[in-house]
Amino acid sequence: MEYHELTVESAQKLLCEHKVSSVELTTALLDRIEKYDEKIGSFITVDKKRALEQAKKADQDIADNNIFSLTGIPIALKDLLCTKGIKTTCGSKILDNFIPEYDATIVKKLKDNGAVIIGKTNLDEFAMGSSTENSAYKITANPWNQEYVPGGSSGGSAAAVAARFCCAALGTDTGGSIRQPASHCGVVGLKPTYGRVSRYGLVSYASSLDQIGPITKNVKDAAILLNVISGNDKNDSTSSRVDVPDFNLAIDLFEKKSLKGMTAGIPKEYLSVDGIDPDVKKVFHDAGKILEDLGVEIKEISLPHTEYVVAAYYIIAPSEASSNLARFDGVKYGFREKRADDLIDMYKQTKSKGFGMEVKRRIMIGTYALSAGYYDAYYGRASKVRTLIMEDFSKAFGACDFILSPVAPAPAFKIGENIDDPLTMYLTDIFTLSANMAGIPGISVPAGYSSKGLPIGIQMMGKKFDEMSLLRAGHGFEKTIQLDKRFPKI
Ligand code: GLN
C-alpha cells in the first residue's frame, strides 16, 4: 500500500483498523515532501517535529479508542490561517517573522478532531492572485507540468493535495482561490456559503467575501472536512447560526436516489464569454451530458449582470483589502524597517519593503475607490452592482437546484505568462467571483484534461447553505466520470 495515495476516508479506515499508524503515515508524507517539494514548492513551512508529536498523540488516542473524524490524518493549511506557535506568513515579507499567539477557530477544530497539521502552504501574498506567483517566498509549480502555474491563490494547498503530500488541505476563497487552483491541479475544492465557516484567525483579505474551505482528493473527503470546520463561532460575528447538517448524507443521498429530480441551470451569459478555451468548452459540454444521464434536468438560465462582475469585484475586494491591510504598519506585527528617520518614515519604509507589487496595487486601487471624492463613483456603484448580482442568483435559483459552469476560461497557463498583465489575470476569475459576491457555495470537481494533459474542472454553485446538493451532485459526477489519470507523476 502506498501511504500517499490515501484519502481522508481511506486513511480513517486503516487507522481505526490498526493497519496503519499515524506516525507511519505522517512520516511517509514528510519524506515525500522532503524528496519532491523542492520541485513543486507547495509548502512555506513544514514543522516535522510538531507533526510527529501530533501523530504520536493520535496513535495513543486510537489505542485508547478515543477517535474523532480526523484522528491521525495529515492535513496542510494555507499559510493565511493562524497557527499557534507556527509561523504564519500570508506569503508576505511583512509577516516574515510572525508567530501567532492563537489558533484560528478552524485550526482548533481540526486539532480537536485529531488532525495532524503537516505544514503551511504557499499562496499569493495575502491571497491576492490567481497563480501563486505573487508569494514573497516561492512560485509553486503545477504538479501535472511544472512549467505551469497551479492556479491561485491557494495554489500551495491544491498542489500539495495533487502531489499527494497530505491527505487533504484547507484553502481560502475570496474570488475563486479554492475552486480555481483545485480545477488546475485536478483535485476537489469547495467554497462554503459565506458564514458557514468561522473566519476567526483567517488573516482577512476582503472580509465580506473570504471563506475557508477544503481542498481534497475526492468529494467525500470534502464532506468529511466540511463537517469538521462548519458552524457558528462567537469569535466571528459573521459566522452563521444556520444548522449544520451531516454532509456525509449527501453521499448516501446519491447512492439511494442518484441525481434524479435535480435541475441544473446553465447561464446563457457564461457561454458567450470571450475566449473560452476549446478544451474547457468540450469538458463542460461532456459534463452536462454526464449529469443528464444521472437524471439531472438541464435548463438555460440567465445571470444578466455577468459582464459587470469582474469590474465590481476588483473595486470591492481591493477596497476592503486597503482597509484590512492598514494594520501592517511595522508596529503591531511582523517586519519593521529600523533605518527610518521618524515614525511616518518607518511606516512608509516598512510598507514599501514589506509588501509586494500586487498587494501595493490593490491597496492603491482600494484607497482611491474609498476616498471621499470617489467613493460614490466606485465603491458605492460596485456595491449596487453586487446587490444586482445577488438578485440574479436569487432569481436563477427559483428555476434550478444548482448552476453548472466552467471554473476558469482556460486550463492552467505557463509560469510568467500573465504576471505582467494584471488585467488578463483578473479576467480569468470571471466564473468564480460571483459566488463570493453573492455569498453562495461553489464546488470544483475534476472533469477532464486539456490537449496538453492539464486538468480541467467543472463548477457547481448552489443556494445559500445548500452545500448538500453540491456534494451530492459532485459525488455522483465524480463517481460516474471515473477519470483515468487521477494524479500526476512527480
Ligand atoms: N484572484 C482573485 C483575486 O486576486 C481571487 C483571490 C482569492 O480568492 N483569494 O482577488
Out of 131, 153, 183, 434, which one is annotated catalytic? 153
- How distant, in Å, are the alpha carbons of 78, 90, 135, 247 from that of 97? 17, 11, 15, 38
pLDDT for position 485: 80
Side-chain-side CA neighbours of residue 258 (13 Å)? 11
Mean per-residue pLDDT over the chain, rounded: 97
Residue 394 CA, chain-centre distance (Å), reads 24
Taking only the tens place, the pLDDT of each residue in 199-232 is: 999 999 999 999 999 999 999 999 999 999 999 9
Q: Mutation test of ligand 1: which of 123, 126, 130 has the most ligand atoms closer than 8 Å to its C-beta?
A: 130
Catalytic residue among 42, 131, 177, 183: 177
Whole-number Å distance, alpha carbon 316 to ligand 1 midpoint, is 12
Task: Give 9 Cα–ligand 1 centroid separation in angstroms.
Answer: 30
3-state helix, strand, coil split of the chain in percent (to 5) is 45, 15, 40
Question: 42: cis peptide before it, omega within 30°?
Answer: no
**Substitution candidate for ligand 1 out of 153, 184, 322, 423 with most atoms within 8 A of CB:** 153
Q: Which three cell numbers stand for residue 149?
A: 502555474
Q: Is the dihedral of CA 258, 263, 268, 273 positive or negative?
A: negative
Active site residue 183: no
Q: What is the pTM of this model?
A: 0.98
Task: Give pLDDT, residue 333.
Answer: 85
Query: Alpha-carbon distance 262 to 57, whole Å?
Result: 44
Residue extents of the structural domains in the chain: 1-490
Report pLDDT for 269. Answer: 97
> Could you tell me which of 61, 63, 154 has the C-alpha nearest to residue 111?
61
Alpha carbon distances (Å) from 411 to 146, 317, 334, 401, 443: 14, 24, 36, 27, 17
CA dist., res. 161 & res. 168, Å (int): 6
The CATH class given to the 1-490 domain equals alpha beta
Give the pLDDT of residue 208: 98
Angle at 482 between CA 30 and CA 245, to 5 degrees: 75
Cβ count near 399 (within 10 Å): 12
Cα dist from 20 to 55, 58, 97, 165, 459, whole Å:
12, 12, 36, 17, 35
**What are the two backbone dihedrals, phi and then psi, of residue 184, each rounded to the nearest 5 degrees?**
-70, -20
Answer yes or no: are the C-beta atoms of 422 and 361 closer than 8 Å.
yes
Q: Report how far apart the first and last C-alpha atoms of the chain are (Å, whole number).
A: 18
Tell me what pLDDT residue 280 has: 97
Q: Give the Å distance between the CA of 361 and the centre of ligand 1.
A: 14
* Spatial distance between the Cα atoms of 37 and 166, rounded to a whole number of angstroms: 12
Annotation marks residue 299 as catalytic: no
pLDDT tens digits along 44-102: 999 999 999 999 999 999 999 999 999 999 999 999 999 999 999 999 999 999 999 99
Beta bridge partners of 266: 300
Short-list 207, 153, 203, CA closest to 182:
153
Report the distance separating Cα 337 and Cα 323, nearest Å: 21
CB atoms within 10 A of CB 182: 38
Q: What cell was used for 343? A: 515614525
Segments of the chain scoring below 70 in pLDDT: none
* pLDDT score, position 486: 83
> What is the pLDDT, as a whole number, of residue 1?
72
| Alpha carbons 41 and 201: distance in angstroms, whole number | 24
Confidence at residue 79, expressed as pLDDT on a 0 to 100 scale: 98
Atom 10 of ligand 1: nearest residue by CA position: 128
Coil, helix or strand at residue 185: helix
Bridge partners (DSSP) of residue 443 are: 190, 460
Looking at residue 339, its pLDDT comes to 93
